[in-house]
Amino acid sequence: MHPLARMVLQRLGLGLVTLFVVSIIIFSAVELLPGDITQQILGQAATPETVAAFRKELGLDRPPVERYFDWLGGVMTGDFGKSLANQREISDLISGRFGNTLFLAGYAAVIAIPLSVMLGLLAALYRNSFFDRFINMATLSSISFPEFFVAYILIVFLAVRAQMFPAISSLNDDMTLLDMFYRAFLPALTLTLVVTAHMMRMTRAAIINLLASPYIEMARLKGMSQARVIVKHALPNALAPIINVIALNLAYLVTGVVLVEVVFVYPGLGQLLVDSVANRDITVVQASCLIFAGVYILLNLLADILSIATNPRLMHRK
């Protein structure tokens, strides 16, 4: 078997074990949430008898271990169960929401990845110049602020004062693609400002680290320009760490959009997760968290594969 294929199978197995452990953590954490879904639905006028009957109807009177393995068996067959709050199929609830989250993450990635790589190359090319210092200061400032703070700043300046974009990113099936891009611009810009700093600084650091290599010195002695040395010689050898940080930030774009979706009332999986926690809809919370965990593990695996594909020397320990 090819070493890369063996590594992929090993990482997939490790990912499944990790996902199993994460499912236990998710189920246990949801069990510790305060409040009761039956009280939430029946209201304050519910009697102990009606609460007990409703808990039995929902299956909440069974031991947690039994309910966990029933839930896990359904997940393995693609059945996430039904929402406790409205008895709808969870797969129907999350399918459209997850598609919206992927759309927002892809929108931000299309902006952030080329921008961060270009800024990293320029910062390395003009190292210690005013441009380099300004870019580093701007990215450090961006990375220091939490997502919700950046989101509110953009709302104040671009939605309230300039009135260029809507403050609430509501989407529906009747919108055209351009309308979706327009309404999702502010949350995508928020995510872009947050992740660009990580990718730009990693690109800059990886290229600067290679500029002291002997083959770079030889290229300079041959009379090559600094730009050609960086683009032709340094950048291909720096792809492994750059691709790794890009894949990890893509994982963040998909799994870390919860706060951004809540601020902009964006109809994504993160907003559904927050609403389900507020309603004590534990089955939807479990399904949403497990999907986020699965996506994060898969993108980490993709980061490892792409890093090794661009630099096969990483397959060897020495």
pLDDT higher at 172 or 289:
289
Domain that holds residue 269: 94-315
Q: How far apart are CA 265 and CA 263, in angstroms?
A: 6
Q: How far apart are CA 191 and CA 178, in angstroms?
A: 19
Q: Are both 49 and 119 inside the same structural domain?
A: no
Task: Could you list the beta-strand ranges (E) of the chain.
Answer: none
pLDDT at 318 over 60: no
CB-based contact 235:207 (threshold 8 Å): yes
Q: How far apart are CA 62 and CA 185, in angstroms?
A: 46
Q: What is the pLDDT of residues 108-154, one digit of tens each?
A: 999 999 999 899 888 888 888 899 899 888 888 888 888 889 899 99
Q: Are both 237 and 302 inside the same structural domain?
A: yes
CB-based contact 153:250 (threshold 8 Å): no
Secondary structure tally for the chain: helices H, strands E: 16, 0
Mean pLDDT of 240-261: 83
The fraction of the chain above a pLDDT of 70, given in percent, is: 96
Number of neighbours of residue 204 by Cβ within 10 angstroms: 26
What single-letter amino acid sits at 23? S
Residue 85 lies in a domain: no
Choose among 117, 274, 257, 97: nearest CA to 186: 257
Question: What local confidence, expressed as pLDDT, does residue 134 receive?
Answer: 92
The residues that bridge with 82 in the sheet, in sequence order, are: 89
Average pLDDT, the chain: 84
CB-based contact 120:202 (threshold 8 Å): yes
- How does residue 178 score in pLDDT terms, banded at 50, 70 and 90? very high
Q: Are both 292 and 188 inside the same structural domain?
A: yes
Mean pLDDT of 34-63: 76
Q: How far apart are CA 81 and CA 283, in angstroms?
A: 7
Question: What local confidence, expressed as pLDDT, does residue 107 receive?
Answer: 94
pLDDT at 184 over 90: yes
Q: How far apart are CA 317 and CA 236, in angstroms?
A: 21
Question: What local confidence, expressed as pLDDT, does residue 231 receive?
Answer: 78
Question: What local confidence, expressed as pLDDT, does residue 312 receive?
Answer: 67
Question: What local confidence, expressed as pLDDT, does residue 186 receive?
Answer: 94
Mean pLDDT of 83-106: 87
CB-based contact 195:208 (threshold 8 Å): no
Mean pLDDT of 45-55: 78
Q: How far apart are CA 138 and CA 294, in angstroms?
A: 33
Three-class DSSP category at 172: coil
Those residues with Cβ within 8 angstroms of residue 93's Cβ, 6 or more apart along the chain or in another chain: 83, 272, 284
pLDDT at 204 over 90: no
Number of neighbours of residue 301 by Cβ within 10 angstroms: 17
- How does residue 103 score in pLDDT terms, banded at 50, 70 and 90? very high
Number of neighbours of residue 56 by Cβ within 10 angstroms: 12
* DSSP code for 158: I
- How does residue 281 score in pLDDT terms, banded at 50, 70 and 90? confident
Mean pLDDT of 162-189: 90
Residue 231 lies in a domain: yes
User: Domain boundary residue among 76, 104, 121?
Assistant: 76
Q: Are both 123 and 269 inside the same structural domain?
A: yes
- How does residue 311 score in pLDDT terms, banded at 50, 70 and 90? low
- How does residue 71 score in pLDDT terms, banded at 50, 70 and 90? confident
- How does residue 182 score in pLDDT terms, banded at 50, 70 and 90? very high
Q: Are both 122 and 198 inside the same structural domain?
A: yes
Question: What local confidence, expressed as pLDDT, does residue 317 receive?
Answer: 57
Three-class DSSP category at 17: helix
- Phi-psi bin for 171: left (phi > 0), alpha (psi -120 to 50), beta? beta
pLDDT at 185 over 80: yes
Q: Are both 71 and 100 inside the same structural domain?
A: no
Q: Are both 163 and 310 inside the same structural domain?
A: yes
Number of domains, the chain:
2
Residue 54 lies in a domain: yes
* DSSP code for 224: -
Residue 88 lies in a domain: no
pTM value is 0.85
Choose among 197, 199, 198, 166: nearest CA to 183: 166
The residues that bridge with 89 in the sheet, in sequence order, are: 82
* CATH classification at residue 214: 1.10.3720.10
Q: Are both 230 and 130 inside the same structural domain?
A: yes
Cα 124–Cα 129–Cα 131 angle in degrees, nearest 5: 80
Question: What local confidence, expressed as pLDDT, does residue 114 receive?
Answer: 92
Q: Are both 189 and 277 inside the same structural domain?
A: yes
Q: How far apart are CA 157 and CA 163, in angstroms?
A: 8
Q: Are both 245 and 182 inside the same structural domain?
A: yes
Question: What local confidence, expressed as pLDDT, does residue 316 receive?
Answer: 61
